[in-house]
Structure 1
Amino acid sequence: MNKKWFILTIVLLVFLFTAVAFSDQTLTNVSGESIAFTDEELGTIAISPEREFEGITINITVNEGGPKGGIAGPLYEWRDVWEKLTGAKLNIVEIPYAAHYQKAMTDLMTGTGQFDGFFIGSDWMGELIAGDYIIPIDDYMKDPRFPKWDPDSLPPSIKNLYTWGDKWYGALNDSDGQILYYRKDILTNPEHKAKFKEKYGYEYNVPPKTWDELYDISEFFNGWDWNGDGEADSGIVMHLKVGAQGMYHYASLSAPFCILPGEKVDKYHNVYWFDPEDMTPLINGEGYIKALEFQLKLAKTGPDAQVAWSLGEAWDYFLRGKAIFTFSWGDVGSLVQDEARSKIKGKLGCSILPGTMEVFDRSQNTFVKLDAPNVWGNTTGGSWHGVISSLSKNPEVVYHLLAFHATNKISFWNACRGWTGVDPGVSFHFLPPHGTASLEDYIANGFNPDDAKEYLQGYYDNFFAPNIAPYLRIPGGNEYWVALDRHLSEAYTGQVNAREALNRTARDWEDVTNRIGREDQIKSYQEAIGYTP
């Protein structure tokens, strides 16, 4: 009898231990939506009755956007939940996009230490690493006290933006890359296809395979009422406002005009920004000039006002059904599902960006013809993610916040909602056979199933493309981008032609390189792009 009771007691203890160890906690965000987590997913700090971080306040900077703004929004959405779990307080410091980098760097360079962490654009990374301004997070990532997230879920193209060398500095948040969005319902209309063929002499592909083909389609649809709303509509829409990330359009579009593919990175192959041997800017080369001239021509098939539009204005134009094409970040695909803002749910097509049938070969100083389109995937954009200031007195608290947002369940929730600014790109966002998400997961989060399949395939093809355009993340990276942005705007607004805009950019880039130190920049650039002298 004693033996029987002993066995029952052991079984009961095992059951109770298992129930405790793997019990669920249901967390409810500001929107009133609930997600169940296991204790293992949340980590031991969050499930402990002792609030280890009680009384600690951390200050985290983020692009200005408010409770429903990109990148800032999720911090507000989950702040109450995280504070209850940890006992800590989160002070969200919103800074306008154009001023964010400078304000963060001033805090770090002066040693003020006002901020504990920053949600950075990945192009800041070179500066932050060179100055020892942020700390690696590898040890925290292995610690069961913190929320559990999977670094192996990131594709190599995105992982490269969160790491430096063999160390992790950022926890998963955003996965930026620009893909082509198009009106699949309109482009597959047989009547439109027949009229196009009659005018241009060929049948277009859906999606277009080259930028020239896309231009023809955009020109064909521009200036007439193809959506039946009684107003003239557009072929394409872009966000080209200076100081509002407009320069990223050019970077994505120009890649196949300029980058000669090859088996490895050398002086002439797989490079975009600078000559890896001496840091001579490549931005005013013939391929780049041709790309900008093409973009200026393409812009004429869109609304005139887009030259002064930021992201939201251009996206809304597409969402209202006023343009056949846009090419932008993942926000668009999920915003299409919001019927309070979108008229095109269920009508979406997505693909990797088109290529070109010729590319400028600097070794021959001429354009060379190709047998197949020169297509490049990209990680264009910020891939905005949190890092920990080396001046913070509470790095563990900051990491806990970042890891919480990196968990599969928070990340997936964020990625399904376009207003968050968190874009899909990791294995648990993708559908089989590429990932572990299910179509039912997306339908439950408001997606049209056909849109979801188009959207996720487009991003998978982009992030896992055989060729990925090089990313600029060296000291001075933000300054190089700002100079490009300023001079592109001069071309977009008709102040100068494409050649002059890019010549001005090249001169400014030389000034930045000389100020920082050319030899140091050569070393940083070679390391960043994987060039071996």
Structure 2
Amino acid sequence: MMQRRRFLEATAMAGALAAIARPSFAATSGAKGAVEAAKQYAGSTVTIVWEAGLQALDPLNFSGPQWENETGIKVNVVEVPTAEVFTKILQEHRAGTGAYDALNVMPAWMPDLVRAGALEPLDSYVEKFGYGEELQDIAPVYRDNQMKVEGKIYGLPDDGDVFILYYRTDVLGDPKIQEAFKAKHGYDLPIPPKTWKEFDEVGALITEVTGGKPYGAAFIRDPAQGQWMFQERFRNEGGVFFDAETMKATVNTPPGVKTFTDWVAENKWMPPGVESFGFVENLAAFLQGDTAMTISWPPYGRWAAGYGTDEAALSWVPKSTIAGKVGYAVTPGGHPELAGGFALSVSASSANKEAAYLFIQWMNSREISLERVQLPYALRDPFREGHFTDETYKSRWPEAPQYLAALQEAANTGILDLSILQTDKYEEAIRQGISRLWSGEDPKAILDDVAAQWDTITERIGVDKQKAAYADWASKPNAYPPKA
């Protein structure tokens, strides 16, 4: 996702915004309570850190101005490239400048930020302003996995990032392809494929029958985002990251080797050059009708339908040629990756903590968040139960009900990104391993090296410290798929 977000930062015009129609909502306690309590701070300013570029249009042009209008509190948005946000937050906290009040953080960063003392515990604010009930409406996979560290609330889950399978209903439903599939494999073509074996057989057959017009599938193979796809598939194949007692890395076990080996085999029936596909290349291939299946984040589903792509801020999105021909489902294996995501937090260094908390409670509330996840340009994906069932959202395009149903299923079955101390160092080892895979090296040898690097990182951090952080993460209900 880093490549995806860096691209958007570079291509989006932060000042450009074409307004879309917004539904009117009756205020509920989370939003109304925050507004009423915040009026005492009228005339003050809340500074919030946000991803630079396209995503920042939410607080810049929508939520920030609306909050100021309702409370008299100005919102100062500090745009920071995604790859630098974690470092900027940490540096500011250590400097003690109090420059930031509210924060936009990835859940995978939270253990490190909490350990550094950079995040304010939010439990007392949630209790004081009666927000606990509304937190229960956040889908459990986000609420139970992306809100707390060691039992305390440090972030309000605010983005339903999850991988979804997108497939061409016209291609998979083509009688010619279905007949050829049954003749070759002896069973009916599954729509959609539910296992990786089914997916690979369907994808390879489509390429064989069509000659690559379209190809059976393509993926984001760029290592920056591919590491999340490895995390997902590895665990769906039965893998675990560490031996819980010794903290020795186990990514080089058979599930990891199988994942890498299958990737290499899949590339043979995918478009030439797929090894270098990033978020945008893969998006273009799917929207232009060059591939029949893919896996990515929720915006693909909206843009494939053409929703919001006439806005100036989304002028870079290729015009969809497949609107009305796309189906949505959870990824093969049934447990998609919660790849990335964001939570709203308060800086422990802020001198304006209560006002900052009230702002993020208001943004995160039922009705305001429902408006925000329908903004095509903001890249905030549905994360509350009410988002998935909202009739207005369902009316946005003909297949929107199926899209939201797939996201809701993913929100019940998704698995959490690895979130321990210095997670990015472990992820970087996987990224390097994927690069080596595309250069033709042996999957087992690569993963043996990755495991050795993980062991070295763990030893540098301290085995006992990391063991405690891993135990806290692994105890969450969606760290691993349920055992059969």
TM tier relative to shorter chain = 0.7 to 0.9
Q: Give, in whole Å, the separation in 1 of the partners of 2:49 and 2:213.
A: 42
Match 2:421 to one of 465, 468, 475: 475
Q: Give, in whole Å, the separation in 1 of the partners of 2:375 and 2:219.
A: 21
Match 2:324 to one of 340, 346, 351: 346
Q: Give, in whole Å, the separation in 2 of the partners of 1:45 and 1:519.
A: 41
Q: Give, in whole Å, the separation in 2 of the partners of 1:418 and 1:351.
A: 21
Match 1:395 to one of 340, 353, 374: 353
Q: How far apart are 1:182 and its partner, in Å?
A: 0.9
Q: Give, in whole Å, the separation in 2 of the partners of 1:56 and 1:237.
A: 49
Partner of 2:464: 519
Q: Given the two structures, how large is their TM-score scaled by the length of structure 2?
A: 0.84
Q: How far apart are 1:41 and its partner, in Å?
A: 5.1
Match 1:43 to one of 10, 32, 57: 32
1:502 aligns with 2:447: yes
Partner SS, residue 385 of structure 2: coil
1:335 aligns with 2:303: yes
Q: How far apart are 1:389 and its partner, in Å?
A: 1.2
The 1:97/1:157 distance shift into structure 2, 3 A limit, reads same
In structure 1, stretches of 5+ residues that fail to align are: 1-28, 260-271, 356-374, 432-436
Q: Give, in whole Å, the separation in 2 of the partners of 1:94 and 1:307.
A: 31
Q: Give, in whole Å, the separation in 2 of the partners of 1:287 and 1:388.
A: 39
Aligned partners of 1:127 and 1:475 also within 8 Å? yes
Per residue, is there more helix in 1 or in 2?
A: 2
Aligned partners of 2:35 and 2:362 also within 8 Å? no
Q: Give, in whole Å, the separation in 1 of the partners of 2:265 and 2:79.
A: 37
Aligned partners of 1:117 and 1:389 also within 8 Å? yes
Aligned partners of 1:254 and 1:292 also within 8 Å? no
1:383-416, Cα deviation, whole Å (9 max, x unpaired): 2122111111111222222122212223223333
Match 1:277 to one of 231, 245, 264: 245
Q: Give, in whole Å, the separation in 2 of the partners of 1:223 and 1:298.
A: 13
Q: How far apart are 1:280 and its partner, in Å?
A: 0.7
1:447 aligns with 2:408: no
RMSD of equivalent CA atoms: 2.8
Q: Give, in whole Å, the separation in 2 of the partners of 1:149 and 1:225.
A: 53
Partner SS, residue 246 of structure 1: helix
Partner of 2:45: 57
Q: How far apart are 1:277 and its partner, in Å?
A: 0.6
Partner of 2:315: none
**Alignment of structure 1 residues 246-395 onto 2, 5 Å:** 246-259=226-239, 272-338=240-306, 340=309, 341-355=319-333, 375=334, 377-395=335-353
Partner SS, residue 245 of structure 2: coil
The 1:418/1:251 distance shift into structure 2, 3 A limit, reads farther
Partner of 2:162: 177
1:107-134, Cα deviation, whole Å (9 max, x unpaired): 3344444322321111111112222221
The 1:504/1:456 distance shift into structure 2, 3 A limit, reads same
Q: How far apart are 1:288 and its partner, in Å?
A: 0.4
Q: How far apart are 1:278 and its partner, in Å?
A: 1.3
Aligned partners of 2:340 and 2:417 also within 8 Å? no
Q: Give, in whole Å, the separation in 2 of the partners of 1:443 and 1:156.
A: 21
Aligned partners of 2:142 and 2:157 also within 8 Å? no
Partner SS, residue 278 of structure 1: coil
Partner of 1:240: 221
Aligned partners of 1:53 and 1:88 also within 8 Å? yes
Q: How far apart are 1:352 and its partner, in Å?
A: 2.0
The 1:55/1:474 distance shift into structure 2, 3 A limit, reads same
Aligned partners of 2:50 and 2:103 also within 8 Å? yes
1:199-250, Cα deviation, whole Å (9 max, x unpaired): 4443221111221221121112237768xxxx8332212222244x332122
Partner SS, residue 419 of structure 1: coil
Aligned partners of 1:238 and 1:327 also within 8 Å? yes
Partner of 2:58: 74
Match 2:112 to one of 106, 127, 136: 127
The 1:148/1:419 distance shift into structure 2, 3 A limit, reads farther
The 1:188/1:456 distance shift into structure 2, 3 A limit, reads same
The 1:417/1:485 distance shift into structure 2, 3 A limit, reads farther
Q: Given the two structures, how large is their TM-score scaled by the length of structure 1?
A: 0.76
1:491 aligns with 2:437: yes
Q: Give, in whole Å, the separation in 2 of the partners of 1:82 and 1:137.
A: 20
Q: How far apart are 1:148 and its partner, in Å?
A: 9.4
In structure 2, stretches of 5+ residues that fail to align are: 1-16, 310-318, 477-484
The 1:46/1:425 distance shift into structure 2, 3 A limit, reads closer
The 1:343/1:411 distance shift into structure 2, 3 A limit, reads farther
Partner of 2:371: 413
The 1:237/1:91 distance shift into structure 2, 3 A limit, reads farther
Aligned partners of 2:420 and 2:466 also within 8 Å? yes
Q: How far apart are 1:417 and its partner, in Å?
A: 4.4
The 1:250/1:44 distance shift into structure 2, 3 A limit, reads closer
Give the residue type in structure 2 aligned to 1:343.
T
Q: Give, in whole Å, the separation in 2 of the partners of 1:113 and 1:299.
A: 49
Report sequence identity in percent.
24
1:266-315, Cα deviation, whole Å (9 max, x unpaired): xxxxxx22111111111111210111111222233323344333323322
Q: Give, in whole Å, the separation in 1 of the partners of 2:27 and 2:264.
A: 52
Aligned partners of 2:30 and 2:134 also within 8 Å? no
The 1:186/1:481 distance shift into structure 2, 3 A limit, reads same
Give the residue type in structure 2 aligned to 1:348.
V
The 1:417/1:58 distance shift into structure 2, 3 A limit, reads closer
The 1:161/1:250 distance shift into structure 2, 3 A limit, reads same
Aligned residues: 447
The 1:80/1:120 distance shift into structure 2, 3 A limit, reads same
1:186 aligns with 2:178: no
Aligned partners of 1:61 and 1:118 also within 8 Å? yes
Partner of 2:13: none
Compare relative contact order (CA 8 Å, sep 6+) and give the higher one, 1 or 2: 2
Q: How far apart are 1:138 and its partner, in Å?
A: 2.4
Partner of 1:265: none
Q: How far apart are 1:30 and its partner, in Å?
A: 6.9
Q: Give, in whole Å, the separation in 2 of the partners of 1:112 and 1:284.
A: 44
Give the residue type in structure 2 aligned to 1:134.
L
1:528 aligns with 2:473: yes
The 1:202/1:151 distance shift into structure 2, 3 A limit, reads same
Q: Give, in whole Å, the separation in 2 of the partners of 1:75 and 1:312.
A: 24
Q: Give, in whole Å, the separation in 2 of the partners of 1:342 and 1:166.
A: 44
1:12-62, Cα deviation, whole Å (9 max, x unpaired): xxxxxxxxxxxxxxxxx97253434437453356358x9533443333222
Give the residue type in structure 1 aligned to 2:393.
Y
